[in-house]
Amino acid sequence: MKLPVKCPSCEKALQVSQLKCSHCETVVNGNYDLPLYMKLTNEEQDFILSFFLTSGSIKAMAKQAGVSYPTMRNKMDDLIEKIQKLKK
């Protein structure tokens, strides 16, 4: 099941307010930010995972995805830009 990261009503980033242990039913309430990685779309998370699994080779990723090197590098640059904005 996909974890929602944006409010369906106002599009702002969602926060974690409750965590629950499925074993003992302990519930922790609070106000936690989602980790940066979780704020990315599934596709973007897969992209980062694929980058890691190819030992950081954009060339190998491009080959796997059947696109050219500059296309893959642009995708990477766009994602870096997005992450830098999220970090601010």
Partner 1 sequence: MMNWKLLFNPFQKIETNTLLIIGGLLFLIGSFFAFYFGFTFDGVLDLHTVGEISLLNAFKQNAINIVILWLLLLGLGLFINAKTRWNDVLVSVLIFRIPFYLMILLSSIPFIKNTLNEFANSLKIGKEFQFEIENILIISGYSMVSLALLVYAIILLFNGFKTATNAKGWRHYLSFALVLIVSEVITKFII
Residues 77, 60: Cα–Cα separation, whole Å = 16
Q: Which one of 9-17, 26-34, 44-52, 68-76 is the stretch in contact with partner 1 (CB under 8 A)? A: 68-76
CA dihedral sign, ordered 54, 1, 34, 14: positive
**Residue 33 is a binding residue for partner 1 (CB under 8 A):** no
Q: Which structure tokens are listed for 52?
A: 């890691």
The nearest distance, CB 71 to partner 1, in angstroms, is 5
| Residue choice 7, 32, 69, 86 for contact with partner 1 (CB under 8 A) | 69
Q: How many CB atoms lie within 10 A of CB 72?
A: 22
> Which residues here bind partner 1, judged by CB under 8 A?
66-71, 73-74, 77-78
